[in-house]
Structure 1
Amino acid sequence: MLCITLPDGSKRTFAHPLTVADVAADIGHGLARATLAGSVDDRPVDTSFRIDRDARLSLITQDSPEGLAILRHSCAHLLAMAVKQLFPGAQVTIGPVIEEGFFYDFAFERPFTPDDLSLIEARMHELAAADLPVTRRELPRDEAIAHFEQQGEHYKAELIHAIPEGESLSLYRQGDFEDLCRGPHVPSTGRLKAFKLTKVAGAYWRGDATKAMLQRIYGTCWPDTKALAAYLTRLEEAGKRDHRKLGAQLDLFHFDDSAPGSVFWHARGWTLFQQLIAYMRARQDEADYIEVNTPDVMDRGLWETSGHWFNYRDAMFATTTEDERVFALKPMNCPGAVSLFAQGIKSYRDLPLRMAEFGKVHRYEPSGALHGLLRVRHFTQDDAHIFCTPAQMQDECARSIALVFAIYRDFGFDEVAVKLSTRPARRIGDDATWDALEAALSGALERMGIAYRVNPGEGAFYGPKLEFVLRDAIGRDWQCGTLQVDLNLPERFDIHYIDEKDQRQRPVMLHRALFGSLERFTGILIEHYSGLFPLWLAPRQAVVLNISEAQGDYAQRLAKALKRAGIRATVDVRNEKIGYKIREHTLQKVPYLIIVGEREMTEGCVTLRAQGGTNLGRLTLDSVVARLREEAQPPCGSTPC
């Protein structure tokens, strides 16, 4: 007899070995139909996996995150099979799961076209409808190499060459197509019902620009057609909200090849950017931070002491001066903050010391990775470094976490997920130090009753971190803020404070960014609001429009009065029809249009029109000012941000 323990603690006994599929069928036919794979003693396996001893078993269905990943990975294999049937000369390489989908890279003599994608997707649907069984076999490494070389799949053979000798490898077959894969996979291609190919792009083999350029076909896969349709609708909406498109439409910024990955802010975009800085400055002042600033260029020795030179050199911009000194543009603000702390003697009475900096940093990103405001080489961080005693560490973590949630709520982000990234393989500091730091972050979250997910091995090289992921108006997730706890940099720079017993002690250092990159956060906000910013944030809060030339001077006087009242107003007295001007400023998403004609000028009033076309009627200028000033009040309190 063998005993199978299920996740709820219940046990089932069987008189002989059986497969994962057999166990699912024994529980119920509905569950058997829904099961894609299993987890036996925490090892993911196919439904055909044979259990021959006592074990813990979890059944993986398409409604779980694990099941969705299996669907997508299996769909990548289906894509590769379709490509090989339609284009036999194509070589297959790799096809991993990515967020909300999958891709597969192919070596082919010419670029795939949109028409090719339509043919490939149609063939995928035919293969799925055929309900081909998916089977697994294992081969010794050398046999696997010979197998793929015989098929002319040289990229697969190269991948296997990198695997240590003596290891067995698993291959998955469906119909006449077989691919190298760890698995698990769906039991048959008929389980793949809701998928779509989305685009094709170029990609270097193994991400190396010195190697061959491949064709990368992207796709998405979902449990059912309803979920697929919802995703495609979201994708269409995301296209309308693309911050690059809106950035041009709203005259906010542009990019130029003379400075790849660096933003050229136009006046309106810079106004928006400065509103974010002013908001954060007010928030930080309220939370007892001091604001500092450190140099953009610093000597290599500083980066060697911090560890960045050895762990981050490939992403740094550096130069050598005529006296052979090496300087680097800062990729992070941390060493500058440590240098500030080291100036003068610090007492325990000075702690916690919360130093904020809107620091410009520079990081080399490959040109193919650059993406509007979301991935740049030169950006501004709303950084803060908090120096505290070990006893204050958890309280300071909790304060920072509370501030993150409060700030995101002000921008309409009510759904925030938290990830705890723990020690990576490549790190500085001993295990005891990492134990203490990880406990401080998890302890603060648990004390506050905040759920979190652990990302093993994803911490920074100098300390664990929390990542704050917010969900936008159309359901997309964005990782923005971070909080990192660090005892390693204080040790490396040998900084200290004097405690109550007049003894030197090492402070704890917290690294904290809430927006993260201001450029990236601006891009997220543009898409979240679809360019329709709340009044306090809008670059232009109102535009005064005259109906005819006779009201030009009156319109100019009104605009000046609005500016004196603290409202960001402009005037449009061009000799254009009023309908044309209204449409133009509506498309530029100006919150309020103030229209003046002969009657308004005679009566000393204005007609107020809100974004969306709502006519608010004729009002006095004083009432308009009062209305706009009240609505434009920043969410950080009565003090103007």
Structure 2
Amino acid sequence: MFRITLPDGSVREVAPGTTPADVAAAIGPGLAKAAIAARVDGEVRDIMRPFEGDTSLALITSKDEKDALELARHDYAHVLAEAVQRLFPGTQITFGPATDDGFYYDFAPSPEHGPFTEEDLPVIEEEMRRIIARDEPLIREVWSREQLIDRWKKQGETFKAEWAAELPDNEELTVYRAGRGEDAWLDMCRGPHLASTGKLDPSAFKLTRVSGAYWRGDQNNAMLSRIYGTGWLNKKQLDQHLMRLEEAAKRDHRKLGQEMDLFHLQAEAHGSVFWHPKGYIIWRELEAYMRRRIDAAGYREVKTPQVMDARQWEQSGHWGKYRENMFVIPDEVPNIDDDGPIISGNAEWMALKPMNCPAHVLIFRQGIKSYRDLPLRLYENGCCHRNEPHGALHGLMRVRQFTQDDAHIFCREDQLVAEVGAFCQLADRIYRDMGFEGYAIKLALRPDKRFGSDEMWDKAEAELREAVQRAGLATDEYGWEELPGEGAFYAPKLEWHLTDAIGRTWQVGTIQSDRVLPDRLDASFVGEDGERHRPVMLHRAIFGSYERFIGILIEHYAGKLPLWLAPVQAVVATIVSDADDYAREVAEKLKAAGLRVETDLRNEKINYKVREHSLAKVPNLLVVGKREAEEGTVALRPLGESARQEVLNLDEAIARLAHDALAPDMK
């Protein structure tokens, strides 16, 4: 008999062959109906998979939304693949994972059909609904490598056969069979899955788009068709998601950036931003705000070179781990002819920096450092370049040239927890100043491929965990979560995930506890004992990058930025030309009070002017006519709040706007 320990501590003894579904049924019919999967010794498993020994068991229902959604989306992907192969014989399947809001599957289309298009999606959706309605059981089977490769080859599934042949020898190879008998559909998959396709809600998914994707992400491999979908537990969740997508389209920073004349991108500089005067005002205000915050927090600002010798990157470890994402250039061009430069095979190589950390270590190494000098906090608005693939570029959110609000804290072992705690407080203050009340903190743990010993990683992870616990942030309120395998190759990290106005999350700030780079680049300080010691290096950023953070702000506020960030804070608009001189006087006084102001003296109706400046997201419109000129007043109309128009004495209006236009840290 196996002993099964339930979450309440009770123990049930069951016979071999018993499944979590059997335990659910024994507890009660309500739970038997609600349970969709099981967590066995912490691992999510199929509810129909038999126990293999004594274990702990927690049954998963749709109330466990995170697990339930991942299971459902995984199943939608499998149903998608089955539907495509039934509709389009000769199509090969590859991979189909769940994503943050849905799923996708990559296919090698048959030559007869060719690449899939948006027109194929409705018919595929209907076939998916038929598969769900058939309520096909999803049965887990363990196959030998030879069986699996032979099966895939016989079916003409060359991609699956290639993948099966490369899986580790000690890995259990599992197949899921959808349905029974000769007509059953098979896919190689680790699982877990729901008990049957009928557990999915046929009204809770939608196929959204088609794109190209290379086999295994390598552009030298075959081009595949990727079909994306979004999947949820019920239709209400799907409808809410589609509404969010519609709202997100309205908030798209690329669209608003053009409408507000903030920036543009073009092919002559792939992945780099052309900032217009109004857009650069937002940048400058954020930069000035951040400088005030980091100055008050004891940071020292530095500036480091854009281009550094490749040997420096090799010593730091980035050359081996990050080379494909770096822009590399020769140190010199020895020969030039009429057709342009010829690069000698013996040229020394340089690289545009993809991050600032090695350069900050070189500053730290200048002169002898004492334990009394620590912590040393070096800050840089550092411009970096990363060779992102063209297909991955996305407005301000994914670029090749970007500027980080980057800092590195060199500290002693006994200072580390306090420094991380202070950073948590600083980040909290800044995110709240930016208008983000909700955020989650996650701890990204050691990846499989990493530098450093297990003991070093144990220590670094424990220190970050302790700092967050001391700060009172390792709670459900802050979405505390630990992410196995998602740390950097040199350090674990804390991540800040902001929630925006329409419920999307954005990963922005991080702090990493690094003992690898100081060792590789020979950073040291003289301790109280007179001996040399290695500092701990904390890599930290709060915005992440100015480009991406500005994009997030534009979408969070739908372009209606807080007054202190608005490129134009007020427009003085006239009703009649008799008020032109007064409008100019009002504008000059507003400028003298430090406000960014424009005038609109055009011979247009006031309703036209109001509408136009509202579309441009100008926060305040000061309307003046003959009466206002005579009485020394203005009619103040805040953006989107025309019903709240107030007639104010000019000095009162200026005082109010000047106060409201102050950055949060200056009020």
Do they superpose with TM above 0.5? yes
Report if the CA contact (8 A) 1:2-1:17 is conserved.
Answer: no
Report if the CA contact (8 A) 1:18-1:52 is conserved.
Answer: no
- Structure 2 Cα separation of the partners of residues 371 and 94 of structure 1: 24
Which region of structure 1 is more displaced relative to structure 2, 200-209 or 168-177?
A: 168-177
Distance 1:339 1:598, change over 3 A: same
Write out aligned runs for 1:208-357 (5 A): 208-320=218-330, 321-322=332-333, 324-357=347-380
Which region of structure 1 is more displaced relative to structure 2, 476-485 or 87-96?
A: 87-96
Per-residue Cα deviation, 1:566-606 (whole angstroms, up to 9, x for no partner): 00111222333322221111011111011122222233322
- Structure 1 Cα separation of the partners of residues 38 and 260 of structure 2: 51
Distance 1:438 1:168, change over 3 A: closer
2:160 corresponds to: 156
Which region of structure 1 is more displaced relative to structure 2, 114-123 or 622-631?
A: 114-123
Distance 1:18 1:506, change over 3 A: closer
1:633 corresponds to: 662
Q: Which letter maps to 1:39?
A: R
Match of 1:141 among 130, 140, 145: 145
Distance 1:15 1:327, change over 3 A: closer
Report if the CA contact (8 A) 1:141-1:167 is conserved.
Answer: no
Distance 1:461 1:19, change over 3 A: closer
Question: Does residue 128 of structure 2 align to residue 124 of structure 1?
Answer: yes
Distance 1:91 1:244, change over 3 A: same
Task: Please state how far the C-alpha of 1:509 moved relative to its aligned partner.
Answer: 1.5
Task: Please state how far the C-alpha of 1:471 moved relative to its aligned partner.
Answer: 1.0
Secondary structure, aligned partner of 1:97: coil
Write out aligned runs for 1:103-114 (5 A): 103-108=104-109, 109-114=113-118
Which region of structure 1 is more displaced relative to structure 2, 221-230 or 94-103?
A: 221-230
1:525 corresponds to: 553
2:340 corresponds to: none
- Structure 2 Cα separation of the partners of residues 116 and 266 of structure 1: 41
- Structure 2 Cα separation of the partners of residues 215 and 416 of structure 1: 36
Q: Which letter maps to 2:137?
A: P
Per-residue Cα deviation, 1:442-496 (whole angstroms, up to 9, x for no partner): 1111212221322222222222111111111111111100001122222222222
Distance 1:114 1:322, change over 3 A: closer
Task: Please state how far the C-alpha of 1:166 moved relative to its aligned partner.
Answer: 7.7
Secondary structure, aligned partner of 1:158: helix
Secondary structure, aligned partner of 1:543: strand
Task: Please state how far the C-alpha of 1:615 moved relative to its aligned partner.
Answer: 4.4
Secondary structure, aligned partner of 2:269: coil
Report if the CA contact (8 A) 1:36-1:61 is conserved.
Answer: yes
Match of 1:491 among 496, 519, 532: 519
Per-residue Cα deviation, 1:289-329 (whole angstroms, up to 9, x for no partner): 12111111111122122111121111111101236232111
- Structure 2 Cα separation of the partners of residues 242 and 131 of structure 1: 39
Per-residue Cα deviation, 1:85-120 (whole angstroms, up to 9, x for no partner): 222232221111111111011122434333321111
Which region of structure 1 is more displaced relative to structure 2, 93-102 or 33-42?
A: 33-42
Report if the CA contact (8 A) 2:102-2:231 is conserved.
Answer: yes
Q: Which letter maps to 2:504?
A: R
Distance 1:449 1:560, change over 3 A: same
- Structure 2 Cα separation of the partners of residues 19 and 111 of structure 1: 42
Question: Does residue 96 of structure 2 align to residue 95 of structure 1?
Answer: yes
1:188 corresponds to: 196
Q: Which letter maps to 1:195?
A: F
Secondary structure, aligned partner of 1:574: coil
Secondary structure, aligned partner of 1:258: helix
Q: Which letter maps to 1:185?
A: H
Which region of structure 1 is more displaced relative to structure 2, 626-635 or 229-238?
A: 229-238
Q: Which letter maps to 1:588?
A: A
- Structure 2 Cα separation of the partners of residues 470 and 413 of structure 1: 7
Distance 1:362 1:26, change over 3 A: same
Report if the CA contact (8 A) 2:16-2:50 is conserved.
Answer: no
- Structure 2 Cα separation of the partners of residues 476 and 635 of structure 1: 24
Distance 1:297 1:578, change over 3 A: same
Per-residue Cα deviation, 1:139-161 (whole angstroms, up to 9, x for no partner): 22122122122222222222212
Report if the CA contact (8 A) 2:525-2:534 is conserved.
Answer: yes
2:421 corresponds to: 398
2:48 corresponds to: 48
Question: Does residue 650 of structure 2 align to residue 621 of structure 1?
Answer: yes
Question: Does residue 494 of structure 2 align to residue 466 of structure 1?
Answer: yes
Gaps of 5+ in 2: 335-346, 475-479
Write out aligned runs for 1:432-471 (5 A): 432-451=455-474, 452-471=480-499
Q: Which letter maps to 1:104?
A: Y
Per-residue Cα deviation, 1:317-360 (whole angstroms, up to 9, x for no partner): 11012362321111011111112112223232222111111000
- Structure 2 Cα separation of the partners of residues 387 and 165 of structure 1: 44
1:21 corresponds to: 21
- Structure 2 Cα separation of the partners of residues 162 and 531 of structure 1: 49
Secondary structure, aligned partner of 1:516: coil
- Structure 2 Cα separation of the partners of residues 150 and 564 of structure 1: 80
Which region of structure 1 is more displaced relative to structure 2, 155-164 or 241-250?
A: 155-164
Task: Please state how far the C-alpha of 1:389 moved relative to its aligned partner.
Answer: 1.6
- Structure 1 Cα separation of the partners of residues 401 and 636 of structure 2: 41
Task: Please state how far the C-alpha of 1:52 moved relative to its aligned partner.
Answer: 5.8
* TM-score, normalisation: structure 1: 0.96
Report if the CA contact (8 A) 1:481-1:513 is conserved.
Answer: yes
Write out aligned runs for 1:353-432 (5 A): 353-432=376-455
Report if the CA contact (8 A) 1:316-1:364 is conserved.
Answer: yes
Report if the CA contact (8 A) 1:63-1:223 is conserved.
Answer: no
- Structure 1 Cα separation of the partners of residues 524 and 16 of structure 2: 66
- Structure 2 Cα separation of the partners of residues 134 and 497 of structure 1: 60
1:589 corresponds to: 617
Per-residue Cα deviation, 1:25-51 (whole angstroms, up to 9, x for no partner): 111112111222223334443222223
Which region of structure 1 is more displaced relative to structure 2, 159-168 or 483-492?
A: 159-168
- Structure 2 Cα separation of the partners of residues 482 and 299 of structure 1: 27
Per-residue Cα deviation, 1:204-258 (whole angstroms, up to 9, x for no partner): 1111112222111111222222222222222221121111111111111111111
Secondary structure, aligned partner of 2:665: coil
Report if the CA contact (8 A) 1:381-1:517 is conserved.
Answer: yes
Task: Please state how far the C-alpha of 1:439 moved relative to its aligned partner.
Answer: 2.2
- Structure 1 Cα separation of the partners of residues 389 and 7 of structure 2: 44
Secondary structure, aligned partner of 1:484: strand
Q: Which letter maps to 1:173?
A: R
Report if the CA contact (8 A) 2:436-2:499 is conserved.
Answer: yes
- Structure 2 Cα separation of the partners of residues 307 and 50 of structure 1: 46
Secondary structure, aligned partner of 2:584: helix
Q: Which letter maps to 2:104?
A: F
1:33 corresponds to: 33
Which region of structure 1 is more displaced relative to structure 2, 468-477 or 6-15?
A: 6-15
Task: Please state how far the C-alpha of 1:501 moved relative to its aligned partner.
Answer: 4.1
Which region of structure 1 is more displaced relative to structure 2, 503-512 or 201-210?
A: 503-512
Task: Please state how far the C-alpha of 1:59 moved relative to its aligned partner.
Answer: 1.9
Report if the CA contact (8 A) 1:563-1:569 is conserved.
Answer: yes
Report if the CA contact (8 A) 1:141-1:166 is conserved.
Answer: no
Per-residue Cα deviation, 1:250-279 (whole angstroms, up to 9, x for no partner): 111111111111111111111111111111
Task: Please state how far the C-alpha of 1:552 moved relative to its aligned partner.
Answer: 3.0
Report if the CA contact (8 A) 2:593-2:654 is conserved.
Answer: yes
RMSD, matched Cα: 1.8
